[in-house]
Chains A and B, each alone.
Chain A
């Protein structure tokens, strides 16, 4: 159980293109989803937290107009990197947390990540 699917797994595109990444919880309802970014040989950095039906909360330094997050249902969140540039190239990972996640007693389950390369 607790499977999170992330798509696509790899994207290569030209500078200026917008790229959409999907994150789905396959066998549970995710009240909260998280988006992370990871550079080579570094740890995960939280970009934003999204709750179903409400606006995402972005971490300091993350441009909300650059990284658009939509969490329209309890099983799907999307991250759109708008007008992507080479510096946006990174490994993007989503995670989802099921209902009853209060008090920190519900694990986040992660997708396999999307490797984004902007030429």
Chain B
């Protein structure tokens, strides 16, 4: 079973920041949080991952709470092409597999 909980859907206006929350209250000390997105009928696209510290790359920022029980993915200036299903995944340490939950369907509106 997935170790994360995400809202099933969210809307965001084009040009605004999209903040996608994720709860992972049972995360273990050395388990990474990964974010992927999947645009319809395509393979998932890697966005970002982190362990304890906040991370930023050219696509997004990842904010992880100090207790590591939740995180937020931030798309700073959402565009229509960011419409996708976003998956927050805790990569289990025992076998490093990605266990996929239902994700959040993010719709960017003009």
- Residues of B32-49 at the interface with A, using a CB-CB cut-off of 8 Å, are 32, 34, 36, 41-46, 49
> Are B31 and A104 within 8 A (Cβ)?
yes
Chain A, Cβ-Cβ closest to B90: A104
| A113→B41 contact, CB < 8 A | yes
Which segment of B13-21, B76-84, B94-102 sits at the interface? B94-102
Number of B residues, CB within 8 Å of A: 26
Map CB proximity to B onto A30-44 as digits: 1 under 8 Å, 0 otherwise.
000010000000011
Question: What chain A residues lie within 8 Å of B92 (beta carbons)?
Answer: 104
A55 to chain B, nearest CB (A): 16
Query: In the complex, are the beta carbons of B43 and A113 less than 8 A apart?
Result: yes
In chain A, positions 63-119 with a C-beta closer than 8 Å to chain B are: 91, 93, 95, 101-105, 107-113, 115
**Contact (Cβ within 8 A) A112 B98:** no
Bound together, the chains give a CA A4 to CA B46 distance in angstroms of 12
Judging by beta carbons under 8 Å apart, are B98 and A108 in contact? yes
CA distance A91 to B100 in the complex (A): 15
A103 to B100, CA, bound (A): 18
When the two chains form the complex, which single residue of A43, A46, A104, A111 contacts B43, counting CB atoms closer than 8 Å? Answer: A111
Can you list 27 pairs linking A and B with CB atoms under 8 Å apart? A2-B46, A6-B43, A34-B98, A43-B87, A43-B102, A44-B44, A44-B100, A46-B97, A46-B98, A46-B99, A49-B95, A49-B97, A91-B41, A93-B43, A93-B44, A103-B30, A103-B93, A104-B91, A104-B93, A104-B96, A105-B49, A107-B46, A110-B36, A112-B42, A113-B41, A113-B42, A115-B41
Given contacts A43-B87, A44-B100, A46-B97, 13 further A-B contacts (CB under 8 A): A34-B98, A44-B44, A45-B100, A46-B98, A95-B43, A95-B44, A104-B30, A104-B92, A104-B93, A105-B49, A107-B34, A109-B46, A115-B41
Residues of B participating in the A interface, judged by any CB pair closer than 8 Å: 30-32, 34, 36, 41-46, 49, 51, 87, 91-93, 95-103
